[in-house]
């Protein structure tokens, strides 16, 4: 038995629904979750021309400089991808929790962090500030320097 077709004169709910406008933070989260080298020119649509970007290794301004950071990521990390785990929005600001998955010399790694975003009146990013612990999330996982850093962390820990 087949399901009866709805009457053809009635519009489907999808066709009659108003398009849902994504918030700037959710639009940016989607961009990063699907980021590829070919998508980097799209930064101009999401970031203001003079946007500032800061993370533990970089501090730059402008979409061209921000694009170079991500181009470098694709050139040096194996299979990099972002997974946005949280999105908290308030006015023209947002916080994105994320996990950055990649491999280094074939070894899978994950770096977890948070991004603070500020948007202009057009919904473009004017401030992108990444917070993550480079020692815990990256250096301790590297050969040679990882073991001494883990030992130092244990020595400094109150627990």
Q: What is the CATH number of the domain that holds 119?
A: 3.10.450.50
Residue 78 within a domain: yes
Question: What pLDDT, on a 0 to 100 scale, did the predictor assign at position 139?
Answer: 56
Beta carbons of 63 and 42 less than 8 angstroms apart: no
Residue 149 within a domain: no
Question: What pLDDT, on a 0 to 100 scale, did the predictor assign at position 47?
Answer: 99
Residue 140 within a domain: no
Residue 60 within a domain: yes
Residue 35 within a domain: yes
Residue 117 within a domain: yes
d(CA 153, CA 148): 9
Nearest to 143 by CA among 99, 113, 107: 107
Domains in the chain, number: 1
> CA torsion 135→136→137→142, rounded to 10°?
70
Residue 68 within a domain: yes
> CA torsion 114→119→125→126, rounded to 10°?
-100
Question: What pLDDT, on a 0 to 100 scale, did the predictor assign at position 151?
Answer: 67
Residue 76 has pLDDT above 90, yes or no: yes
- pLDDT tier for residue 21 given thresholds of 50, 70 and 90: confident
Question: What pLDDT, on a 0 to 100 scale, did the predictor assign at position 113?
Answer: 96
Write out the residue range of the structural domain in which residue 42 sits. 22-132
Question: What pLDDT, on a 0 to 100 scale, did the predictor assign at position 16?
Answer: 46
Q: Give percent helix, percent strand, percent coil of the chain, each to the nearest 5.
A: 35, 35, 30
Nearest to 56 by CA among 141, 108, 129: 129
Question: What pLDDT, on a 0 to 100 scale, did the predictor assign at position 107?
Answer: 87
Residue 20 has pLDDT above 80, yes or no: no
Residue 43 within a domain: yes
Residue 6 has pLDDT above 50, yes or no: no
pLDDT tens-digit readout, 98-135: 999 999 888 898 999 999 999 999 999 999 999 988 76
Nearest to 108 by CA among 97, 99, 95: 99
Residue 158 has pLDDT above 80, yes or no: no
Residue 58 has pLDDT above 90, yes or no: yes
Beta carbons of 73 and 103 less than 8 angstroms apart: no
Residue 9 has pLDDT above 80, yes or no: no
């Amino acid at each position: 038995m087949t399901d009866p077709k709805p009457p053809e004169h009635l519009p489907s709910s999808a066709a009659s629904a108003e398009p849902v406008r994504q918030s700037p933070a959710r639009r940016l989260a989607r961009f990063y979750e699907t980021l590829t080298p070919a998508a980097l020119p799209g930064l101009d649509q999401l970031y203001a021309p003079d946007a500032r970007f800061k993370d533990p290794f970089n501090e730059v301004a402008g979409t061209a400089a921000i694009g170079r950071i991500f181009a470098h990521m694709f050139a040096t990390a194996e299979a990099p991808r972002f997974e946005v785990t949280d999105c908290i929005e308030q006015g023209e600001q947002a916080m994105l929790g994320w996990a950055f998955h990649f491999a280094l010399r074939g070894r899978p790694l994950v770096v977890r962090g948070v991004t603070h975003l500020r948007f202009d009146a057009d919904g473009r990013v004017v401030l992108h500030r990444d917070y993550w612990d480079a020692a815990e999330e990256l250096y301790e996982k590297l050969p040679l320097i990882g073991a001494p850093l883990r030992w130092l962390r244990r020595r400094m820990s109150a627990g």
